[in-house]
Amino acid sequence: MSVITLIIQENGYKELYPFAGWKLFTVPTGGEDSMERYKLYGIKNGDTIRILNRTVESYEANDEEGIVYTYAERIDKNEDREENRKKLLIFAKDTRPEFQKYLLYKESYNPNELGTEKMHVTKKLIIGL
């Protein structure tokens, strides 16, 4: 099915098989009790808005997630904290220039709650950019 889906996508049609490509090799998180991820929040006109990953001209949504996670983890572990903060700020300004300031949070949640009416997410502020 993956090969057929690849051929179909190369001809301009939508993905037929939901586990084509890299998705086939990811590790499912449904068995985990807790997951952590780093998310950027932007401040615009006094409102704090969670920045969703999206595909832009320079980056795929998954690339954006990986870049944020790489710098955020280093910042959180105090590995060249200021240098990595500057790099993450440059990236944030490049991909989301509409915000005046940026905040980096670590979010913890139970993946089994995804898609439920009430999902509990714990947020911890890591740094302001």
The 3-state secondary structure of the chain, one letter per residue: CHHHHHHHHHCCCCCCCCCCHHHHHCCCCCCCCCEEEEEEEEEECCEEEECCCCCCCCCCHHHHHHHHHHHHHHHHCCCCHHHHHHHHHHHHHHHCCCCCEEEEEEEEECHHHCCCCCCCEEEEEEEEC
In this prediction, residues 105-113 reach a mean pLDDT of 86
For residues 100-118, give the mean pLDDT: 87
Per-residue pLDDT at 118 exceeds 80: yes
Q: Check residue 28 and give its pLDDT.
A: 54
For residue 64, how many other CB atoms are within 10 A of its CB? Answer: 21
pTM to 2 decimal places: 0.70
How many CA within 13 A on the CB side of residue 20? 15
The yes-or-no verdict on residue 67 having pLDDT over 70 is yes
